[in-house]
Structure 1
């Protein structure tokens, strides 16, 4: 899930695109966004090691990137008219293979896939992160011997109230609700919601109204609709909904990757690798009743991330294996995306609008 807002940079809107440098990517690419057509034009590249996920702090304007390496670190950048200026050196997160990060209450949070933990780092006044990190290890495993032999935290995200932090773990088939310590920023587990064994939850998205959560699974092409109680910090599964056809025997396996709820709360979009598609789910029956209405080609291969602009009328897919970011115009009545163009970005992993 990329950022949904946009900020003006001397009359230009920007997009920031991560890429796997170990797979031939360049680091973090800055692109201009045409305010009328949504077309991307690359402007510059900032060096970072395997920046697989990015997030933009809306209060300070600082862009953060995980360095998805065995050592595990985060990099920070200040957007400028010319691109991105590094804010110091990369900072270790105390976990390996971080795949996601977010900002909450003056802290930078990371989900560390390989080590199965989440980390919390303090942020200085200028937005730069510092160590040492507070690390919360996850515990447990799932039935898949190849993917769930241990915890694999895949996403960490604050809830809309700012009181809670939710961490999605593919390895333990669960979502943990954490309460940050107001003094130290350290996370402690408040509750844990178990999902169906073997589903492999990867990412979640909140409905704009804040009381419904959509948990997307990677190991099975479906999402779990949950009720969210921001007062008590409780997540309650309600139903499962398919996001891709299982297809005929021998068909390519689908690996969902990213989920976005439209800003107006009428649609949910899901990127599906393997099928290389973007699925549209309608919420016409209500936030708890998403219904799969169709899918379109992602415009490339292996869509790892998906982002919507502030209007919800345009989507961007980061296609890792084909090395491009494709943008789509969204039909305002049906929510169906229509391919409008693409730009080459080798080993693209993530796109954030800023």
Structure 2
């Protein structure tokens, strides 16, 4: 606790235990500099590669990105996350993302191309089995990566009415609702064949969605209509000033600034952060800066800072953001082996 009983801000970091990661890491956040200081970690869940925090900041949820696939809940009142019961098997392979929606945890299961719902009990613990699952269908032109569906992300839209899932294997975004705990497809929007959409971020006013494409280093801008739950693709913008210089470039995370003026992406291989200015219904590439490590798997905005989980160099780097230009400036880093994501409470 801080002075006056106000709880200090916390960060929680996921990692790949199969690559030597410590599991789920808790850290404090300096309000001025954005610096992280590690408090403790919990390794009771294999490969907790993605995390989501509930609205009161008391319970943290993680995937277990394994072939059998599972989700877990942690109490995070203390310095070390406390596992709440055994991980729940979801019947989906390789979950890469999870979010909270309508009293459930939703997972995007990359390996099986499914989205799974697990009910959350009133005390924050998880039901012992999923309540439903929807299986994506389709493929894409990339022979190695798009032979079948690969759900990579699922999250609520800003209105809270819809769950939106991004599928790298089918070059599409699906909009779902929950019916008695079962995900039900409402609408599917096709993107450019071979683009390989990975992650989506909404504009703060809920009018547009920005989709980072993994198989081509671009962002697709879509208009979002929350009334009927529909996406309309508008433009596509490169996140690099030219062709990749060496190793192939694979965009990973994408976030928007709280004021809606900028979009930031992280690109693996090139190991850069890209700054894109929002201009009407399009984006303009402002420039790129080094990500502070190797293989940036995720990017998060919090308190005027950007945080990047660099998986292969094993660190989390933070950046102060120039509010006028949107350009990040490196502030520092902490070591977290096989770091995969950062969330804030």
Which residue is 1:330 aligned to? 321
Which residue is 1:151 aligned to? 149
2:135 is aligned, of 130, 134, 137, to 137
Q: How does 1:266-305 map to 2 (within 5 A)?
A: 266-283=261-278, 285-286=279-280, 288-305=281-298
How far apart, CA to CA, are the structure 2 residues paired with 1:124 and 1:60?
A: 16
How far apart, CA to CA, are the structure 2 residues paired with 1:131 and 1:172?
A: 31
8 Å contact from structure 1 (residues 60, 127) kept in 2: no
Q: Secondary structure at the match of 1:136?
A: strand
2:310 is aligned, of 319, 323, 328, to 319
8 Å contact from structure 2 (residues 53, 61) kept in 1: yes
1:5-55 deviations in whole A, cap 9, x for unaligned? Answer: xxx986421110000000110100111111121111111001221011011
Q: How does 1:18-37 map to 2 (within 5 A)?
A: 18-37=14-33
Q: Does 1:97 align with 2:94?
A: yes
- TM-score w.r.t. length of structure 2: 0.96
Which residue is 2:181 aligned to? 185
How far apart, CA to CA, are the structure 2 residues paired with 1:222 and 1:246?
A: 11
8 Å contact from structure 1 (residues 142, 150) kept in 2: yes
2:107 is aligned, of 105, 110, 120, to 110
Give the Å deviation of 1:251.
2.9
Number of residues paired by the alignment? 340
Which residue is 1:3 aligned to? none
Which residue is 1:16 aligned to? 12
Give the Å deviation of 1:163.
1.3
Which residue is 1:171 aligned to? 169
Q: Per the alignment, do residues 124 and 11 of structure 1 end up closer, same or farther by CA in structure 2, a change over 3 Å counting?
A: closer
How far apart, CA to CA, are the structure 2 residues paired with 1:11 and 1:55?
A: 19
1:290-340 deviations in whole A, cap 9, x for unaligned? Answer: 11101100000000001111x4x2110000000000000101110000001
8 Å contact from structure 1 (residues 10, 81) kept in 2: no
2:247 is aligned, of 237, 252, 269, to 252
1:60-107 deviations in whole A, cap 9, x for unaligned? Answer: 631111000011001111111322111111001110100000001101
Which residue is 2:300 aligned to? 307
8 Å contact from structure 2 (residues 246, 270) kept in 1: no
Q: Secondary structure at the match of 1:51?
A: coil
Unaligned runs of 5+ in 2: none
8 Å contact from structure 2 (residues 58, 77) kept in 1: no
Q: Secondary structure at the match of 1:22?
A: helix
1:345 is aligned, of 322, 331, 336, to 336
Q: Per the alignment, do residues 9 and 71 of structure 1 end up closer, same or farther by CA in structure 2, a change over 3 Å counting?
A: farther
How far apart, CA to CA, are the structure 1 residues paired with 2:165 and 2:140?
A: 16
1:144-181 deviations in whole A, cap 9, x for unaligned? Answer: 11100110000001111111111100000000111211
Find runs of 4+ consecutive structure 1 residues off by over 6 angstroms. none
- TM-score w.r.t. length of structure 1: 0.93
8 Å contact from structure 2 (residues 241, 287) kept in 1: no
1:112-154 deviations in whole A, cap 9, x for unaligned? Answer: 0000100011110111111421111110111111100110000
Unaligned runs of 5+ in 1: 1-7
